[in-house]
């Protein structure tokens, strides 16, 4: 077992010590190597790598990966995210075919697709989203798909195109509670993301979102966010511990005990969410195959 590194930010302030339950295995094994080989061969991006996901070893070792389309440079500068920020140059119209071929070669039963924000594109990248889902469905008809889509900034026409390819689950992450939005997601709006989830639900899709804890929120604020999600048609919620990717990102305010994660799960189900995945190392696509009812 390897403990994830703690970044010294040289602030001189007391920082919470990383607890024993936040340890992950090093990536290894034949399946891991096979997935890495396919990703490299088809020149694809994965959020597993770009987002420094702590579950990469487990998921890749099981032969699954979350593919990130539309490049690996994001137009947003969220203070929690390890994905590169800047002016994207990549727009590859052949990407849908390559993603579909890789998923077919991996023989996955449930595929997760996500993307960076492409605010500079008029359609927010919706056409590539649609073509990628269609290509996967045509190449692997039995494969179910979850799409973790970005904020479309109220471009609802783009949203409809983005989610109309035939995917079973559509996810859009809230990331945090309302009070922390300006600090955590400075280019997003809490109410707008709630509306996006409601519109996805109205379109007839299974809806999903994820939040991080350990950023300074209170349990009461988490419960309030759950109420908002239920009121806006959210079916599935993932809750995981925020981990600081680099010294340039937000510090961890608190490491949440597994008992509170268990409590969050129970409360969420009581409030009307259909499925709650809650734990220290839970991420948006962790055990995503369980979320297809």
Helical axes 190-202 vs 219-231, angle rounded to 10°: 40
Burial of 2 (0-12, 13-18, 19+ CB in 10 A): exposed
Burial of 180 (0-12, 13-18, 19+ CB in 10 A): buried
- Per-residue model confidence as pLDDT tens digits over 8-52: 444 455 567 788 877 765 555 565 566 666 666 666 555 454 444
Q: Which two tokens stand for residue 5?
A: 């590194």
User: How would residue 53 be classed by pLDDT, with cut points 50, 70 and 90?
Assistant: low
Q: How many CB atoms lie within 10 A of CB 186?
A: 11
Of the chain, the percentage scoring pLDDT greater than 90 comes to 59
The rounded distance, in Å, linking the Cα atoms of 143 and 169 is 12
109-123, 155-169, 222-236, 279-293 — which is least confidently predicted? 279-293
Beta strand 169-171 with 206-213: parallel, antiparallel or unpaired?
parallel
CATH code for the part of the protein at 24-291 = 3.20.20.70
Give the pLDDT score at 40.
66
- Per-residue model confidence as pLDDT tens digits over 155-186: 999 999 999 999 999 999 999 999 999 999 99
List % helix, strand, coil for the chain (3-state, nearest 5): 35, 15, 50
Give the pLDDT score at 59.
55
pTM: 0.83
Q: What is the 3-state secondary structure (H, E, C) of 2-42?
A: EECCCCCCCCCCCCCCCCCCCEECCCCCHHHHHHHHHHHHC
Given a contact cutoff of 8 angstroms between Cβ atoms, the answer to whether 251 and 244 are in contact is yes
- Per-residue model confidence as pLDDT tens digits over 239-261: 999 998 888 889 999 999 999 99
Give the pLDDT score at 20.
80
Give the pLDDT score at 12.
53
């Amino acid at each position: 077992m390897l403990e994830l590194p703690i970044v010294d930010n040289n602030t001189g302030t007391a920082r919470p010590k990383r607890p024993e339950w936040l340890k992950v295995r090093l990536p290894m094994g034949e399946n891991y190597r096979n997935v890495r080989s396919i990703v490299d061969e088809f020149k694809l991006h994965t959020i597993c790598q770009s987002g420094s996901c702590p579950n990469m070893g487990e998921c890749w070792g099981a032969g699954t990966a979350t593919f990130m389309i539309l490049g690996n440079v994001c137009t947003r500068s969220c203070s929690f995210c390890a994905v590169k920020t800047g002016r994207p140059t990549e727009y590859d119209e052949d990407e849908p075919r390559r993603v579909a071929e890789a998923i077919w070669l991996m023989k996955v039963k449930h595929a997760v697709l996500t993307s960076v924000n492409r605010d500079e594109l008029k359609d927010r990248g919706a056409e590539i989203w649609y073509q990628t889902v269609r290509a996967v469905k045509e190449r692997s008809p039995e494969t179910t798909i979850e799409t973790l889509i970005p904020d479309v900034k109220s471009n609802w026409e783009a949203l409809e195109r983005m989610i109309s390819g035939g995917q079973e689950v559509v996810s859009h992450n809230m990331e945090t509670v309302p009070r922390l939005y300006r600090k955590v997601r400075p280019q997003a709006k809490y109410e707008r993301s709630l509306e996006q989830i409601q519109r996805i639900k109205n379109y007839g899709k299974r809806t999903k979102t994820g939040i991080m804890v350990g950023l300074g929120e209170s349990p009461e604020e988490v419960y309030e966010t759950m109420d908002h999600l239920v009121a806006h048609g959210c079916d599935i919620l993932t809750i995981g511990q925020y981990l600081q990717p680099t010294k340039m990102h937000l510090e961890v305010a608190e490491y949440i005990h597994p008992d509170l994660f268990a409590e969050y799960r129970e409360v969420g189900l009581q409030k009307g969410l259909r499925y709650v995945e809650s734990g220290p190392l839970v991420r948006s696509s962790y055990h995503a195959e369980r979320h297809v009812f």
